[in-house]
């Protein structure tokens, strides 16, 4: 398996999905939006985009299985898995607010091989393959070198489990606001992770998210020189739902902020 060649093909497929989303956005009908859970939305474009991606990726690597957000294909035990979020940032998409993206990862049970995230609003494709560095539209990217928390630009996001996450989020805002350079909420975990990889964010954290939200971005950060763990500091983050991503220089700081709440979040 030539991962570089395969990644190039996955980028094309991600852009095809993104182009479909962009086209549909011009005539998007909010009346066709469904609420999966409280404030957790899915639209017909999520499902149709996922079907398109599954079809194209099945042709690219016929023996691979799928782990998808919208469940348009059944899970089967395989050696390799495509992990797909057809539209990360659905609420942004519904409201015509950037960013939103297509996220695709290829992984085994123990490692991530390929990560591709295509951001539709800015027409940016972030990608990486194992041991191959990280790239944005053909240019190598690297995490920031910020080591001073007073100068740090921090990303945070708001999961749908508001009652469970609110105590930690309030703590993070209280601890960071006025101390760091600034705080931003993107509304897309995949994009926030790519922003860490490209040095746009110095660190980021969120919980109650799923593999399709973070697997592609995690590899892109790693290949860009950054660091990704779960809230306990474990590198086995894709077994859980909580992520800290950073340029590595600020990782201990972020972990220390989360530490008082990590048992509540992780259930340990």
Domains present along the chain, CATH in parentheses: 3-140 (3.30.540.10), 149-266 (3.40.190.80)
Q: Is the dihedral of CA 17, 194, 176, 232 positive or negative?
A: positive
Distance CA 228, CA 146 (A): 16
Residues 24-39 have pLDDT tens digits of 899 887 776 766 555 4
Question: What is the model's pTM?
Answer: 0.95
Residue 40 pLDDT greater than 50, yes or no: no
β-strand pairing of 242-246 with 203-207: antiparallel
Are 42 and 34 contacting, i.e. CB atoms less than 8 angstroms apart?
Answer: yes
Query: Which of 76-80, 193-197, 251-255 has the weakest average pLDDT?
Result: 76-80
Are 14 and 60 contacting, i.e. CB atoms less than 8 angstroms apart?
Answer: no
From the list 36, 39, 2, 44, the residue with the least C-alpha distance to 20 is 44
Are 9 and 60 contacting, i.e. CB atoms less than 8 angstroms apart?
Answer: yes
Distance CA 105, CA 13 (A): 12
Mean pLDDT of 54-82: 93
Contacts of residue 227, defined as CB under 8 A and 6 or more positions apart, other chains included, come to 221, 245, 246, 247, 248, 251
3-state DSSP assignment of residue 124: strand
């Amino acid at each position: 398996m030539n991962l570089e060649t395969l990644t190039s093909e996955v980028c094309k497929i991600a852009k095809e999905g993104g182009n479909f989303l962009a086209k549909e956005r011009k005539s998007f009908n909010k009346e066709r939006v469904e609420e999966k859970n409280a404030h957790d939305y899915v639209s017909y474009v999520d499902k149709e985009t996922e079907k398109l991606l599954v079809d194209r990726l099945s042709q690219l690597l016929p023996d691979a299985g799928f782990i998808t957000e919208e469940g348009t294909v059944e899970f089967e035990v395989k050696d390799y898995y495509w992990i797909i979020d057809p539209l990360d940032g659905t609420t942004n998409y519904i409201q015509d607010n950037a960013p939103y993206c297509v996220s695709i990862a290829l992984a085994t049970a123990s490692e991530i091989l390929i990560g591709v995230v295509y951001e539709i609003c800015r027409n940016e494709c972030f990608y990486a393959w194992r041991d191959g560095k990280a790239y944005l539209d053909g240019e190598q990217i690297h995490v920031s070198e910020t080591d001073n928390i007073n100068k740090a630009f921090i990303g945070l996001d708001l999961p749908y489990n508001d009652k469970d996450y609110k105590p930690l989020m309030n703590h993070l805002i209280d601890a960071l606001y006025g101390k760091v350079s600034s705080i931003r909420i993107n509304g897309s975990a995949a994009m926030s992770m790519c922003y860490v990889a490209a040095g746009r964010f110095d660190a980021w954290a969120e919980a109650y998210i799923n593999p399709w939200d973070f697997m592609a971005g995690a590899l892109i950060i790693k290949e860009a020189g950054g660091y990704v763990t779960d809230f306990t500091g474990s590198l086995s983050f894709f077994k859980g739902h909580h992520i800290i991503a950073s340029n590595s220089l600020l990782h201990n700081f972020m972990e220390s902020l989360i530490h008082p709440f990590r048992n509540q979040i992780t259930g340990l």
